Amino acid sequence: MNKGNALIAALLGVVIGACAMMVFLRMTDDRKFNGDYSHWNKLNLILQQIEQNYVDTIDIESMTDAAVEAALHKLDPHSVYLPPVELKESETELAGNFEGIGIQFNVPNDTAIVLSVISGGPSEKAGLLQGDRILKVDDHNIAGMKTPQDSMVTLMKGPAGSKVRITVQRDGTEIPFDIERDRIPLNSVDAAFMVNDTTGYIRLSKFSRTTYTEFSKAAEKLLSEGMTRLVFDIRDNTGGYLDQALLLSNEFLKKGEMIVYMDGLHRQREEFKADGRGSLQDIGLSVLINESSASSSEIFAGAIQDNDRGEIVGRRSFGKGLVQEPINFTDGSGVRLTVARFYTPSGRCIQKPYTADYEYDIYERYAHGEMTVADSMRVDTSVVYHTAAGRKVYGGGGIVPDVFVPVDTTKATGFYLKCNRKAEQMRFASAIFDTYRDRLSEIDDFGELEEYLQSLHLDRKFLDFAAKDGIVPAAGEWEKTEPYIMPQINALVGRYSKLDDEAFYRFYLEIDDTIRTAVESSGTVTVQ
């Protein structure tokens, strides 16, 4: 056969093969799609073809999950699919309790140090003490291994009734503790105390199942101590259960005043109003928010602002105003699906636009100056809304504060930044506790704690501690840094006392411009 005939034969083989394939496909064609997208016809067809024809074995479970995640990603940033493990973690975080050993710890030097032992919890019963260094969890070495903190938590958590061995180092001695896990309460009220004779302060970290009960107890305590004004701090509070936000709002509003309403294509408008039985209707109120206050925090702040009930202080909130409906499946997975939007009483939609840089919105706020200059806040002024008393408010995403408090960038000296990079303050606090453990761990009065810490001359000790790490302030830097860094150090050391988080926030008040602004204001809005 000459070369020309060979080429013709090869081409004929390709054509015949292609024709045979076309005939085969026609014979087996069950992929007809007439353009009808109802009932997810095309998606089902594609998945069916993958299952029947793909060259390799496929994992149907992971393929299904991937398809679901991709579909939800096309909706909005907050409609998500949660596999069983993630769903359980999500529900645990807001349930008001979890199952574990009952400690709080931090990791200043690649070793977990017990910060506090929850009273009545499994660890206290077993004998763990504040300041213990955790070396092992069962057979897992976690000290000096650069183990992520969330991995440590996962190792220690477990179902109530199960056992775990925690090996700690105490005074140079390794001690193993066999601990039976149990249900541990998770507090949402981080701190509650009187700032002065008439002003109380409550910090709320989340809206969990126990929030209203915790808040009510804290408020009752402060009322008994003479509170006539409240600074309510919901900065960095990313939200939680709607009913808890409604209950808290109800405490401050008069009967019939709107708290929030929600509306969606498949959900009729539903309004939530105060019943007039709240116990704090006559208390002056300042609400602190920032760029990380979201969801239920924004519902509360919007209700207070639109009813002219109190003053909103801080920076524009995050802007998450979507109603997430949980849809759980029998395999333990679930979907959090957006079914409606939240609107403040004046009609503002809390939700910010779904821009291309939605996930990086906070960075964008820094970039265009919103965090430091009030006039840089991006609000939609094309539509004006009005509060109950007629004040102008604007939408565009999030709650815009009545009183703006910028981020203070002037205090970050080179010395301060170097200390932060090495977690110098946290490691120093741990070292101080090691030295003065017996005295610190028994103090339960803030005045006594202040006096004791002052007697330790922590400023000089900290400079010596930092110098050993090669961090020495340049000429004039300590004078600029000391007023800012020492309250932080006192706060971190104070956390090792019986006052715990209360000590931390009390000391931090000295350098918290937002709290100081709220305390110095009247707590009421000016209606012009």
Q: Which residues pair with 328 in a beta bridge?
A: 334
C-beta separation of 267 from 222 below 8 A:
no
Contact 125, 177 (CB under 8 A): no
363 token code pair: 């960075």
Contact 246, 226 (CB under 8 A): no
Residue 508: how many other CB atoms lie within 10 Å: 18
Active-site annotation holder among 320, 352, 361, 430? 320
The answer on 451 and 340 residing in a single domain is no
Average pLDDT estimate for 510-527 = 83
Give the number of other CB atoms < 10 A from CB of residue 356. 6
Of the two residues 423 and 242, the one the predictor is more confident about is 242
**Integer Cα distance of 488 and 511 in angstroms:** 8
* Assigned domain for 88 exists: no
Task: Indicate if the pLDDT at residue 7 is higher than 70.
Answer: no
Domain range for 51 is: 34-72
What percentage of residues in the chain have a pLDDT greater than 90? 50
Residues 377 and 425 both lie in one domain:
no
Asked if residue 285 belongs to a domain, the reply is yes
The CATH number that applies at residue 115 is: 2.30.42.10
Q: What is the model's pLDDT at position 15?
A: 46
Catalytic residue among 208, 295, 333, 497: 295
Write down the catalytic residue from 132, 182, 190, 306. 306
Q: What is the DSSP string of 11-64?
A: HHHHHHHHHHHHHHHHHT------S--GGGHHHHHHHHHHHHH-SS---HHHHH
Residue 366 sits in a domain of what CATH number?
Answer: 3.90.226.10
> Quick check: is 456 in a domain?
yes
pLDDT (0 to 100) of residue 14: 47
> Is there a contact between 325 and 336 (Cβ–Cβ < 8 Å)?
yes
Residue where a domain stops, chosen among 167, 185, 203: 185
CA dist 506 and 282 (Å) reads: 25
Residue 87 included in any domain: no
- Structural tokens at position 404: 């703006």
For residues 399 and 438, membership in a common domain is answered with no
Please check whether residue 396 lies inside any domain of the structure.
yes
Distance CA 234, CA 205 (A): 7
Continuous segment of H or E residues that includes residue 259: strand 258-264
pLDDT tens, position by position, 172-187: 888 888 898 988 777 8
Look at the chain and count its residues.
528
Q: Do residues 333 and 212 both lie within one domain?
A: yes
Do 332 and 211 share a structural domain? Answer: yes
Q: What's the chain's Rg over C-alpha atoms?
A: 29
Judgement on whether residues 206 and 355 belong to the same structural domain of the protein: yes
- Cα–Cα dist 518/524, whole Å: 10
Regarding whether 298 and 262 lie in a shared domain, the answer is yes
C-beta of residue 196 within 8 angstroms of C-beta of residue 506: no
Whether 12 maps to a domain, the answer reads no
Is 179 part of a structural domain of the chain?
yes
Secondary structure tally for the chain: helices H, strands E: 17, 21
- Contact yes or no for 291/376 (Cβ under 8 A): no
State whether 285 and 383 are in the same domain. Answer: yes
The mean pLDDT value for 362-391 works out to 87
pLDDT of residue 94: 59
Q: Are 234 and 293 in contact (CB under 8 A)?
A: yes
The arithmetic mean of pLDDT across residues 358-383, rounded, is 83
Could you tell me if 441 and 497 are in contact, meaning their C-beta atoms sit under 8 angstroms apart? yes
Distance of CA 192 to the CA centre of its chain: 20
Long-range contacts of residues 377-381, Cβ cutoff 8 Å, at least 24 apart: 377/316, 377/404, 379/316
What is the percentage of the chain residues whose pLDDT exceeds 70? 90
Look at 275 and 32; give whichever has higher pLDDT: 275
pLDDT digits (tens, 9 = 90+) for 272-300: 999 999 999 999 999 999 999 999 999 99
* Domain presence at residue 2: no
When pLDDT is cut at 50, 70 and 90, the band that residue 9 belongs to is low
pLDDT in tens, 430-476: 889 889 988 998 999 999 999 999 999 999 999 999 999 999 999 99
Please count the structural domains in the chain.
4
Dihedral sign for Cα atoms in the order 113, 119, 125, 129: positive
Q: Verify that 277 and 151 share a domain, yes or no.
A: no
Determine the Cα–Cα distance for residues 416 and 488; give it in Å rounded to an integer: 11
The answer on 59 and 122 residing in a single domain is no
Distance CA 424, CA 430 (A): 10
Average pLDDT of the residues in 124-128: 82
Are 158 and 238 within one domain?
no
The type of residue at 512 is D
Domain ends where: 185, 220, 238?
185
320 is catalytic: yes
Catalytic status, residue 306: yes
In whole angstroms, what separates CA 345 from the centre of its chain? 26
Judgement on whether residues 170 and 220 belong to the same structural domain of the protein: no
